[in-house]
Structure 1
Amino acid sequence: MQRLKNRAQFEAVMAGTTVSRTRHFALHRTELDAPTAAPAGLGTERTQALFAIREPWIGALVPKRWAKRAVTRNAIKRQIYAVSREFETRLPAAAHVVRLRAGFDRAHFSSATSDALKHAVRGELLDLFARAAA
């Protein structure tokens, strides 16, 4: 499984369809045959493929708006990448972005990296990927 690395890749996937949603997450997908984009900053007409390798691609989008602390954002991203590796064989060869679309209640999860928060995030991500793989 490849990871999305640049802005053009993320923008291409976010322009695709939303395949699955849970209370806090959304999974976006685009086919790998998506249009090509010119490298940023170059005025040439040369284009390059956004997704050169034909296998599943994954990206995590965890905005500060919904997870204020960096430690929380990083913990959520680690969970996203770990769960996506478990579902790698069941996902189609396409580019995916998991987006945090709502914050977790700080009253229930006082610590930024509490075990309760990790279990809640993991459970929701398992549900998200199970719906998308079905």
Structure 2
Amino acid sequence: MVGRIVRTADFERVLALPPRSRSAHFAAHHLPDAPSAPKKPAKASAAADLSTGDAPSCPPPVDEVPKLVLEGCWLGTVVPKRHARRAVTRNLLKRQMRAVMQDHGGSLPPGLWVLRLKAPFDRTQFRSASSEALRAAARAELALLLQRAMSPRPPGPPAGRALRAAAA
């Protein structure tokens, strides 16, 4: 099962890296790490104030569970309004991103994944906001994107250093 990235800090960490794979409309970013723990401290004094302070309680809330060594994939989706104006289209693209990630989740390297829409689909080619043709085109392109992302990255200098060396 693929989890969801919900914290802004996790999105920022992943998007700070260059894309692992690109296609005409999408980019896939990857960080081999687990989601960050929440910064809020656990409220231990609340149980002592209750008359049932010693009684057995429910499991701790999800935010208070200690961070474990986690294996698996977490997905974040970025579909900006400037590339998909209608909410129907944005929702369709997000559903396709999640579905393709579920299909390829077991074969992808574990960690945080962000799939980002980087260019709009042609409105003259896909007239309807939620057409079957748009759904099929997005799904095929996302599948190809994740297949490319599964291949190991070749070692090399960071992009900034390579650009500075080429300019000199």
TM norm structure 2? 0.68
Report the counterpart of residue 17 of structure 2 in structure 1: 16
What's the C-alpha RMSD, in Å, of the aligned pairs? 2.2
Q: 2:139 aligns with which of 115, 122, 125?
A: 122
Number of matched pairs: 126
Q: Alignment identity in percent? A: 42
Q: 1:112 aligns with which of 129, 137, 144?
A: 129
Point out 4+ residue stretches in structure 1 off by more than 2 angstroms.
Answer: 36-40, 49-54
Q: CA offsets, 1:50-98, max 9 Å, x none?
A: 9963311111100001000011000000000000000011111110000
Larger-gyration structure (1/2): 2
Question: Could you tell me how far apart the structure 1 residues matched to 2:84 and 2:124 are?
Answer: 14
Partners of 1:32 and 1:54 within 8 A in 2: no
Partners of 1:67 and 1:103 within 8 A in 2: yes
Report the counterpart of residue 39 of structure 1 in structure 2: 39
User: Residue 81 of structure 1 aligns to a residue in which SS?
Assistant: helix
Report the counterpart of residue 46 of structure 1 in structure 2: none
Q: Against the structure 1 CA distance between its residues 10 and 105, is the aligned structure 2 distance closer, same or farther, given a 3 Å change threshold?
A: same
Is 1:74 the counterpart of 2:91 in the alignment?
A: yes
Question: Could you tell me how far apart the structure 1 residues matched to 2:117 and 2:37 are?
Answer: 26
Q: CA offsets, 1:31-52, max 9 Å, x none?
A: 2068x67738x9xxxxxx9996
Question: Could you tell me how far apart the structure 2 residues matched to 1:115 and 1:97 are?
Answer: 24
Report the counterpart of residue 149 of structure 2 in structure 1: 132
Code of the aligned partner of 1:55: G
User: Residue 58 of structure 1 aligns to a residue in which SS?
Assistant: strand
List alignment gaps of at least 5 residues for structure 2: 42-65, 152-168
Question: Could you tell me how far apart the structure 1 residues matched to 2:129 and 2:68 are?
Answer: 34
Shift of 1:6: 1.7
Question: Could you tell me how far apart the structure 2 residues matched to 1:9 and 1:51 are?
Answer: 16
Greater helix share, structure number: 2
